[in-house]
């Protein structure tokens, strides 16, 4: 490995690949959301089935997009963007697989960890946020997020007594329509 003064082409190519990796990671999460949409259930067997299906889908996407990056050849900027996008998709899916396997393997989340080593390990494998909800294949989405609840007229949470108040919904995926 040699360090040298970067040329304009090197800077452009690196920026294109970096942008591609970023966009690929975001697209990867969207694609996974399209192909894996389990029903919410309290049945433990069905949850385990959903988790296993999500794991295989993550692996499939990682392998397919990683292999796709091998087949792209070229020296232009568009090639860098395309290759970076496929690499970003693959890396994002592999990170999800690692987090799921670590969780199944008994690695504690950062909030559960008691030592600095356990906390560092949790962060390294993607379990650093105590808000991670891996049970439904949603990756690192916050399980209790603010949603629009158009019926609740709680003046302390939004616009007073109008039908457009914002409040914390009990079901994080529910959006209550106005009546």
d(CA 170, CA 172): 6
Average pLDDT over residues 151-179: 46
Q: What 3-state class would DSSP assign to 117?
A: helix
Condensed to tens digits (0 to 9), the pLDDT of residues 25-79 reads 999 999 999 999 888 888 888 888 999 999 999 999 999 999 999 999 998 999 9
pLDDT at 144 over 70: no
Structure tokens at 45: 């067997």
* pTM, two decimal places: 0.67
The pLDDT mean for the chain works out to 78
pLDDT value of residue 130: 54
Please determine, for residue 158, whether its predicted confidence score (pLDDT) is greater than 80: no
* Alpha carbons 9 and 46: distance in angstroms, whole number: 52
Coil, strand or helix: which one is 147? Answer: strand
Query: Is the distance from CB of 129 to CB of 113 less than 8 angstroms?
Result: no
The answer on pLDDT for 87 being more than 80 is yes
Name the more confident of 150 and 24.
24
Q: Are 20 and 79 in contact (CB under 8 A)?
A: no
Name the one residue in this structure whose structure tokens are 């294949």: 137
Q: For the chain, first and last CA: distance in Å?
A: 65
What is the token pair recorded at 86? 């496929």
């Amino acid at each position: 490995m040699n360090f040298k003064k970067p040329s304009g082409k090197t800077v452009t190519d690196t920026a294109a690949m970096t942008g591609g990796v970023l966009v690929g990671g975001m697209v990867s999460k969207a694609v996974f959301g399209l192909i894996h949409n389990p029903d919410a259930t309290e049945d433990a067997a069905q949850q385990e089935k959903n988790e296993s299906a999500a794991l295989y889908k993550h692996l499939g996407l990682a392998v397919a997009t990683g292999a796709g990056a091998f087949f792209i050849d070229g020296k232009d900027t568009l090639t860098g963007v395309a290759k970076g996008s496929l690499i970003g998709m693959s890396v994002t899916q592999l990170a999800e697989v690692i987090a799921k396997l670590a969780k199944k393997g008994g690695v504690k989340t950062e909030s559960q960890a008691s030592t600095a080593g356990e906390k560092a390990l949790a962060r390294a494998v993607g379990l650093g946020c105590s808000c991670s909800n891996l049970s439904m294949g949603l990756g690192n989405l916050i399980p209790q997020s603010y949603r629009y609840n158009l019926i609740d007229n709680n003046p302390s949470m939004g616009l007073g007594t109008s039908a457009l108040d914002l409040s914390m919904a009990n079901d994080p995926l529910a959006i209550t329509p106005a009546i």
